[in-house]
Structure 1
Amino acid sequence: MAQCVNIAENKKMCTCTYEPCPRKGNCCACLLYHRRHGELPGCLFPPEVERTYDRSIDRFVAWFNRGRK
């Protein structure tokens, strides 16, 4: 994958709390990684859900549906 030219800017907005992540700030690599694992990236979750590291699509749908009822 090509080097991300926006890493510095992306890192300022990245809400992922997994600090040793080598993809932090490289959104393309992050999306690809999580997609391959049947997950969504942490930035799509609210902080209280993101901190659980449960990035499953099922967890996202449960959170999303809970907020819409």
Structure 2
Amino acid sequence: MSEACARQASGAADCPCTYPGCPRHGNCCQCVAHHRAKDQLPACYFTAEQEKSFDRSVAFFLSCRKG
């Protein structure tokens, strides 16, 4: 998936991903496709603190929602 997203530059400002050098930063379509293929969720599903763990698993997402 190397296609550029027409709105990638504007999406980059709102993208919560802090993974260094992420080639999908700001490109939501590529990001979602990448994480879906790995049975994961993208950074935008997590709080800023949770996102820093780089654990994108559904299990981690669900464990963060249990209270």
TM over 0.5: same fold?
A: yes
Does residue 42 of the first structure (1) align with residue 43 of the second (2)? yes
Structure 1: which amino acid aligns with 2:58? Answer: I
State the Cα distance separating 1:43 from its structure 2 match. Answer: 1.3
Deviation track 1:5-61 (CA, whole Å, cap 9, x = no partner) reads: 111110000010102100001100000000001100011100111000110001111
Does residue 33 of the first structure (1) align with residue 34 of the second (2)? yes
Q: Which runs of 5+ in 2 are unaligned?
A: none
Q: TM-score, normalised by structure 1?
A: 0.87
Matches of residues 6-21 of structure 1 in structure 2 within 5 Å? 6-21=7-22
Q: Which runs of 5+ in 1 are unaligned?
A: none
Partner SS, residue 6 of structure 2 = coil
**Runs of 4+ with deviation above 4 angstroms:** none
Q: Could you tell me the percent identity over the aligned residues?
A: 41
Q: Hey, what's the Cα distance between the residues in 2 that align with 1:19 and 1:12?
A: 15
Q: TM-score, normalised by structure 2?
A: 0.90
Structure having the larger proportion of residues in helix = 1
The CA RMSD measured in Å over matched residues stands at 1.1
